[in-house]
């Protein structure tokens, strides 16, 4: 991994959404426009946000990450490329999604490789709970997409079970991929999984509308496009 020297805080400010966060957030105030908003929860080193923002300048990307060092690291990557369509909050997404995001205001939510918290006694620290899935579902607009990936089969089962139990979500597709071809990973952790040869499990859900009859319509940005920066 190339070392990226963090830029001074003044240069990162345009990318940082700092507390106190309004309840709820006004996306127009956050981004200065009315473009569609997609959220990534737990963005880590920000590879998915970076490539998505570069590939889709007409989409606003909002990242929520609990660790300040990753918020600043990712903001540096955005600032170096002078991207204007990314904002990053340092917050616990379990609270943030519920309290700060306007219901029905988000086109897609991406959660890639959430921490598995392997030990049973630590499972309560996991991101995925019925409450988190309910908050994400509420945040999505009609036909909005909930996109998930992990290399932990047991956690994937928990995640998909929670989504299946959410009546407003319809399964679009799931897949299990062992892909070692260079350059086809979306995130840093996906790259690690590929290097180890660990299968990656993916699922996409779509928020139902009364009119929804087919799970194939919709306009979320294509996250299967190979990344431009790795």
CB of 103 to ligand SAM, least distance (A): 19
Q: From 17, 12, 126, 21, select the one nearest 61 (Cα to Cα).
A: 17
Indicate if 115 belongs to the active site.
Answer: yes
Residue ranges in 148-187 that form contacts with ligand SAM under rule CB under 6 A: 187
Which of 34, 115, 143, 179 is an active site residue?
Answer: 115
Which of 114, 133, 146, 203 lies at the binding interface for ligand SAM (CB under 6 A)? Answer: 114
Helices (H) and strands (E) in the chain, counts: 8, 8
Residues 149, 128, 172: CA angle, nearest 5 degrees: 45
Give the residue with the Cβ less far from ligand SAM, 127 or 139. Answer: 127
**8 A C-beta contact, residue 213 and residue 38:** no
Distance CA 25, CA 2 (A): 34
CB of 81 to ligand SAM, least distance (A): 19
Helix 153-164 to helix 130-139 angle (10° resolution) is: 60
Residue ranges in 56-85 that form contacts with ligand SAM under rule CB under 6 A: 64-67, 70
Residue ranges in 15-44 that form contacts with ligand SAM under rule CB under 6 A: 41-44
CB of 192 to ligand SAM, least distance (A): 8
CB of 16 to ligand SAM, least distance (A): 15
Q: From 60, 78, 57, select the one nearest 15 (Cα to Cα).
A: 78
Which residues of the chain form contacts with ligand SAM (CB under 6 A)? Answer: 41-44, 64-67, 70, 92-94, 112-115, 127, 187-190
| Catalytic sites, residue numbers | 115
């Amino acid at each position: 991994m190339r070392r990226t020297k963090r830029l001074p805080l003044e240069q990162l400010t345009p990318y940082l959404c700092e507390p106190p966060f309004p309840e709820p957030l006004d996306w127009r105030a956050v981004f200065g426009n009315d473009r569609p908003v997609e959220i990534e929860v737990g963005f880590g080193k920000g590879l998915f946000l970076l490539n998505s923002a570069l590939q889709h300048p007409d989409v606003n990307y909002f990242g929520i990450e609990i660790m300040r060092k990753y918020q600043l690291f990712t903001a540096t990557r955005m600032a170096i490329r002078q991207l204007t369509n990314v904002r990053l909050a340092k917050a616990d997404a379990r609270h943030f999604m519920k309290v700060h995001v306007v219901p029905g205001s988000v086109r897609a939510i991406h959660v890639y490789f959430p921490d598995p918290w392997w030990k049973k006694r630590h499972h309560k620290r996991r991101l995925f709970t019925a409450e988190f899935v309910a908050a994400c579902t509420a945040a999505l607009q009609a036909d909005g997409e909930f996109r998930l990936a992990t290399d932990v089969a047991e956690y994937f089962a928990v995640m998909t079970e929670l989504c299946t139990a959410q009546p407003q979500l319809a399964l679009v597709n799931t897949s299990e991929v062992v892909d070692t071809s260079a350059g086809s990973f979306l995130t840093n952790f996906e790259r690690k999984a590929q290097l180890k040869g660990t299968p990656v499990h993916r699922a996409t859900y779509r928020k139902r509308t009364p009119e929804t009859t087919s799970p194939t319509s919709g306009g979320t940005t294509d996250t299967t496009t190979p990344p431009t920066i790795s």
